[in-house]
């Protein structure tokens, strides 16, 4: 392991950033980063490391649909004693990033490491950073009245990675969720489900258990090319060394990229009127209410008028319905309804035990994912490709 004494292994012109993800979504986040023009250097469980200039901090936060956070990697080194942790933390160029009046906290985690006391590691890292900043700014006391900087010390098998969170509030909080429902689907997971499917903006999309509308809203934002972070703020937007003009330019480019003229065919339904009310409000807040046709409907009564459609849905399971008999009836009724859609591609996310046997059809692909702390499986049934017009 080579110790890095600067911002990752990079200079201020080229920073090393980490996009964190939930388990199973790493490959999708990597694909997103590459499509945004970033150079990906490493993909690991729960994170994708990539290189960026300063403007890329704003770009990544604005555009990543499946990442949880974007972290700035300040340094990485091996540490098995508290002296090592202190000295190597002190050696990093914290003054490049944290302002003299910066308000900063240190969070930590330790997995399979000699230094297992998280509170002690946090306190030691904080002390080392304070001393380094004191030496740089020639002060012994910091007002901490300025921008916020959240430092994370992560110890994995005796390797310490020190980062600063550029996102602030987690990226799944887009800013459009005006009303929530029971056990809502995370926005980042909904975006991942869509990107794992064969849906594109030329094909019809149905979600027949839409809840608060997360899947159709995320699909409409993808179809209309709306940056998911366009209506929210980020911690690093207050950092003086990035500069207001950098952020203003990235926001301006994102607004110009929106396709207001695309005609999308997205249909969302739910049996619960409160869910539909929440979904409509959320879609309006996201700026895509004109892209989605909402209807109060039982999934058993939905009319699928076209062939070659896409169904992406997150049906209720134990966390949303407590009546086990009702759950069994609901899933049993899926077979005759979804079974008829032999020209459709079906994508169903559920934690329901035994779902793989319900449709009496082997999924073409299935992937284990997590919706918050709930382990779920994404079942993918590929229909035929639509004929070329």
User: What does the alpha-carbon distance between residue 180 and residue 185 come to, in Å, rounded to a whole number?
Assistant: 10
Per-residue model confidence (pLDDT) at position 237: 97
Among the listed residues 276, 246, 341, the one whose alpha carbon sits nearest the alpha carbon of residue 303: 341
At 12, the pLDDT band (50, 70, 90 cuts) reads low
State mean pLDDT over 96-100: 95
* pLDDT tens track for 37-62: 999 999 999 999 999 999 999 999 99
| Mean pLDDT lowest among 158-172, 243-257, 313-327, 351-365 | 313-327
Per-residue model confidence (pLDDT) at position 180: 73
Does the pLDDT value for residue 161 go beyond 50?
A: yes
What single string gives the DSSP state of each residue in 139-165? -S-----S-EEEEEEEEETTEEEEEEE
Partnered with residue 311 across adjacent β-strands are: 206, 346
Per-residue model confidence (pLDDT) at position 166: 98
324 vs 122 pLDDT, higher one: 122
State mean pLDDT over 314-322: 71
Does the pLDDT value for residue 8 go beyond 90?
A: no
Does the pLDDT value for residue 89 go beyond 70?
A: yes
Partnered with residue 156 across adjacent β-strands are: 111, 159
Does the pLDDT value for residue 371 go beyond 50?
A: yes
Does the pLDDT value for residue 389 go beyond 70?
A: no
Per-residue model confidence (pLDDT) at position 358: 84
Q: What is the phi/psi pair of residue 386, to 5°?
A: -65, 145
* pLDDT tens track for 125-144: 999 999 999 999 999 888 88
Percent of the chain with pLDDT over 90: 82
345 DSSP 8-state letter: E
At 321, the pLDDT band (50, 70, 90 cuts) reads low
Give the count of beta carbons closer than 10 Å to the beta carbon of residue 255.
11
At 306, the pLDDT band (50, 70, 90 cuts) reads confident
User: What does the alpha-carbon distance between residue 139 and residue 152 come to, in Å, rounded to a whole number?
Assistant: 24
Verdict on whether the full-model pTM lies above 0.75: yes
At 261, the pLDDT band (50, 70, 90 cuts) reads very high
Per-residue model confidence (pLDDT) at position 5: 39
Per-residue model confidence (pLDDT) at position 4: 42
State mean pLDDT over 320-343: 84
277 vs 360 pLDDT, higher one: 277
Per-residue model confidence (pLDDT) at position 322: 57
- Please, what sign has the CA dihedral across residues 106, 112, 113, 115? positive
Among the listed residues 348, 265, 366, 279, the one whose alpha carbon sits nearest the alpha carbon of residue 311: 348
Instruction: Give the architecture-level CATH label for domain 15-165.
Output: 2-Layer Sandwich (3.30)
Options 2.30.30.100, 3.40.190.10, 2.10.109.10, 3.40.50.150; CATH for 187-224+259-381 is: 3.40.50.150
State mean pLDDT over 261-276: 96
Q: Hey, do 15-165 and 187-224+259-381 end up sharing a CATH topology, with the first three levels equal?
A: no
Per-residue model confidence (pLDDT) at position 356: 80
Write out the E strands in the chain. 15-20, 39-44, 47-52, 69-78, 103-111, 148-156, 159-165, 205-207, 266-270, 292-296, 310-313, 345-350, 365-371, 374-381
What single string gives the DSSP state of each residue in 225-289? T--TTTTS--GGGG-TTT-HHHHHHHHHHHHHT--SS----EEEEES-HHHHHHHHHHHHHHT-G
C-alpha dihedral (32, 37, 38, 42), degrees to nearest 10: 60
Per-residue model confidence (pLDDT) at position 325: 81
Average pLDDT over the chain reads 92
Q: What is the phi/psi pair of residue 151, to 5°?
A: -90, 140
At 109, the pLDDT band (50, 70, 90 cuts) reads very high
* pLDDT tens track for 209-247: 999 999 999 999 999 999 999 999 999 999 999 999 999
At 17, the pLDDT band (50, 70, 90 cuts) reads very high
Per-residue model confidence (pLDDT) at position 11: 47
Domain ranges of the chain: 15-165, 187-224+259-381
């Amino acid at each position: 392991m080579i110790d890095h004494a600067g911002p990752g292994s990079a200079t201020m012109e080229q920073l090393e950033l980490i996009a964190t993800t939930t388990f199973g979504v790493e490959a999708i986040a990597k694909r997103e980063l590459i499509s945004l023009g970033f150079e990906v250097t490493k993909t690991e469980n729960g994170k994708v490391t990539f290189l960026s200039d300063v403007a890329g901090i704003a770009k990544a936060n604005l555009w990543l649909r499946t990442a949880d956070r974007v972290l700035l990697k300040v340094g990485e080194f091996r540490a098995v004693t508290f002296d090592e942790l202190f000295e190597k933390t002190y050696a990093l160029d914290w003054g490049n990033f944290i302002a003299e009046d910066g308000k900063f906290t240190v969070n930590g985690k330790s997995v399979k490491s000699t230094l297992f006391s998280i509170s002690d590691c946090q306190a030691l890292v904080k002390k080392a950073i304070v001393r380094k900043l004191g030496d740089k700014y020639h002060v012994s006391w910091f007002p901490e009245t300025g921008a916020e900087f959240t430092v994370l010390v992560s110890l994995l098998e005796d390797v310490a990675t020190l980062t600063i969170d550029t996102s602030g509030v987690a990226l799944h909080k887009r800013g459009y969720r005006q009303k929530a429902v029971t056990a809502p689907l995370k926005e980042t997971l909904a975006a991942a489900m869509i990107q794992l499917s064969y849906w594109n903006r030329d094909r019809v999309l149905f979600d027949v258990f839409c809840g608060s509308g997360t899947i159709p809203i995320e699909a409409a934002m993808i179809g209309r090319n709306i940056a998911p972070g366009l209506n929210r703020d980020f911690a690093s937007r207050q950092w003086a060394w990035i500069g207001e003009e950098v952020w203003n330019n990235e926001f301006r480019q994102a607004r110009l990229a929106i396709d207001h003229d695309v005609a999308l065919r997205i249909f969302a339904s739910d049996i619960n009127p409160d869910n539909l009310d929440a979904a409509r409000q959320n879609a309006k807040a996201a700026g895509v209410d004109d892209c989605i046709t909402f209807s109060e409907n039982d999934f058993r009564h939905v009319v699928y008028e076209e062939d070659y459609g896409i169904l992406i849905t997150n049906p209720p399971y134990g966390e949303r319905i407590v009546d086990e008999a009702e759950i069994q009836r609901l899933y049993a009724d899926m077979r005759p309804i979804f079974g008829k859609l032999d020209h459709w591609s079906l994508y169903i996310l559920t934690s329901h035990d035994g779902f793989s046997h319900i449709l009496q059809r082997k999924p073409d692909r299935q992937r284990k994912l997590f919706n918050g702390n709930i382990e779920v499986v994404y079942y993918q049934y590929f229909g035929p490709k639509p004929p070329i017009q």
